[in-house]
Structure 1
Amino acid sequence: MKRKSNIKVIRIPIPTPTLLPHTTTNSYLIGNEEESILVDAGYDTEDTRKLLEWEINKHGLARPKRIVLTHAHQDHAPGVRMLIHWMPTILCHEKEEEQVLSAISPWEEITLIEDEDSIKVDGEEIIVMHTPGHTLGHVSLYIPSEQILIVGDNIVAEGTTWIGAPDGDMKDYLQTLQRLRNLKIEKIGPGHGKWVHQPHEHIDFVIQRRLHREQQLLTLLEKHQQITSKELTEIIYQDRIHPSVFPVAQKTIEAHLDKLLKEDLIQYDESKSSYVSPHF
């Protein structure tokens, strides 16, 4: 039986220049009138500050003194610059430190966190999980008392997240998803979109999407024998995505191809910048 906790977990969608179909990035307030933390700080605009402070007042929460950044991307971290008057300490994984410092400069008050660290908010335990894949130092937060998982960009409410260079790794990502799937969770707080109320089914959907895409690539390489990542992306998506999303779709395809290369399931022809079926 889940025990009743004394904290609130509030999702705040903040307008950001993110990828369609999403137009907002989620920040999360976790806490109560005694103590709270912020997870992700949105984009570097005055609207970010106004929206967050309005939500803090609306829900009667203490002003956060700590901000946990799931990762350093432009729609998750630079909003710290709008919150410097809070005098916050920024928490991030050591593998994300350099990127975070760049994203939040000139603010430099950083504390490094590791996998399975415990963060206490008015006595409630929040478990840090190092969940690489989208970036090397990506973290998620698990709240046992609420059976809530805050996942950053590991999961989005609509569709699937992108994985790719320079920091993304498809093998790491699939391992992360399997780990998240084993948690006892009632709902997921995604990086983009509404709460996910069927968490295990949604994680399974993402895993199956990634495995299907991998098999699709192997089949296309068997058929075409030698082909570029751009051509593969064009075949797979065939005008089904907005042109603005095509570059990250191609990055995700390349992340799959890099995984297959490491597993010696395909080859790469540097002279033609193309991928080659091992049977060619």
Structure 2
Amino acid sequence: MIGILTKVCDENDMITTLLANNAGPFTGPGTQTHVFGDQDTCVVIDPGPSLPEHMEAIYSAIGHRKLCGILLTHRHGDHAGAALTLQVNLNTSIMAFPILPSDHYRIPEGRFYTDFDYEAIHEGDEITVGSLTLSVVHTPGHCFDHVAFVCKQTGDLFVGDTIMAWSSTAIVQPEGNMEAYRQSLRKLYHIDVQRFHPTHGDIIHDPKARIVQLLAHRRKREEELFSRLGAEPMGLSELRKIIYPQLPENLYAGAETSLLSHILDLNDRGIVTWSKKGVVKQENAQCDPMIWNL
């Protein structure tokens, strides 16, 4: 159902979740915008794509309340596409993790929205939302600028694209990094909350168990990839055909860039060598499954 998806999170009446009409292979059921706050004050977390009906739903969810800002988990278009329009129409600030000059080579053409002024937020910053407080958690991996927002008063953590219930997270190039993703999962595991709120898909009511599942999934994918490699270079398309033999064509590019993220991680660990010719296994190299432990 497009529009108001839910207004109640267990015993709390602090979250209105709005589903955008942008379902697809990489967005699942669509982008979910969270309007979080008390009776008088709120913030918008991930305003989503610039769709008129979705923005109208956001205006309705805010209602009479004071808007403290627009919070971005990251700058992908399905999360930040409506940010500038809402910023102008509501005369409010956008808060996002900063992009440093050294990060500009990692901004993918056409996938990042950067055409707005913003207030930089960092690990540990606190955002006051009326009687509530959101703390910023830097969670790179899916993107270098990715953050999550935790409210310890209510036990809710808005995880963006770092964790989803319906799928594993896409770690794509050039903005993604597998080692950073591992570290972010570990960091989130040790935050004591009751619920994860992804920007795509259902609420996760057993956060720690989901993180354990995701680490196990990535370890299995790494082991499968490593087992296919040898002394002769193999390209991404060749590996994709072997590891994802029945994948729909519209997911080829996503699968190949996800494999590339695993390969670059193995390359950084000295287990494989990656070049334009393809990837080869280092002689006598072995994967250490312990790297995927908590």
Give the structure-2-normalised TM-score.
Answer: 0.84
Cα distance in 2 for residues equivalent to 1:155 and 1:70: 12
Classify the secondary structure of the residue corresponding to 2:187.
helix
Range with bigger deviation, 135-144 or 228-237? 228-237
Cα distance in 2 for residues equivalent to 1:123 and 1:21: 32
In the alignment, does 2:74 pair up with 1:67?
no
Kept after mapping to 1: 8 A contact 2:233/2:279: yes
Cα distance in 2 for residues equivalent to 1:128 and 1:21: 24
The CA RMSD over aligned residues, in Å, is 2.4
Unaligned runs of 5+ in 1: none
Task: Determine which of 44, 56, 66 is the counterpart of 2:50.
Answer: 44
Cα distance in 1 for residues equivalent to 2:157 and 2:121: 17
Classify the secondary structure of the residue corresponding to 1:216.
helix
Kept after mapping to 1: 8 A contact 2:12/2:154: no
Aligned to 2:237: 230
Unaligned runs of 5+ in 2: 1-10, 285-294
Range with bigger deviation, 12-21 or 212-221? 12-21
Classify the secondary structure of the residue corresponding to 1:227.
coil
Residues 220-239 of structure 1: CA deviation (Å, up to 9, x unaligned): 114x7431122112211111
Classify the secondary structure of the residue corresponding to 1:88.
coil
Classify the secondary structure of the residue corresponding to 1:156.
coil
Range with bigger deviation, 20-29 or 148-157? 20-29
Residues 93-126 of structure 1: CA deviation (Å, up to 9, x unaligned): 1137976xx7263x42x11000011111113221
Residues 142-168 of structure 1: CA deviation (Å, up to 9, x unaligned): 110111110110012201110021110
Structure 1 counterpart of 2:45, one-letter code? V
Kept after mapping to 1: 8 A contact 2:273/2:280: yes
Aligned to 1:86: 90
Classify the secondary structure of the residue corresponding to 1:36.
strand
- The 5-angstrom pairing of residues 154-169 of structure 1 reads 154-169=162-177
Kept after mapping to 2: 8 A contact 1:14/1:42: yes
- The 5-angstrom pairing of residues 1-280 of structure 1 reads 8-16=14-22, 18-20=24-26, 22-57=28-63, 62-83=65-86, 84-95=88-99, 103=113, 105=115, 107-108=116-117, 110-222=118-230, 225-239=232-246, 241-270=247-276, 273-279=277-283
Give the structure-1-normalised TM-score.
Answer: 0.88
Cα distance in 2 for residues equivalent to 1:21 and 1:152: 12
Kept after mapping to 2: 8 A contact 1:261/1:267: yes
Q: Percent identity?
A: 24
Q: CA deviation at 1:32?
A: 2.0
Aligned residues: 267
Counterparts in 2 of 1:35 and 1:228: CA distance versus 1, 3 Å: same
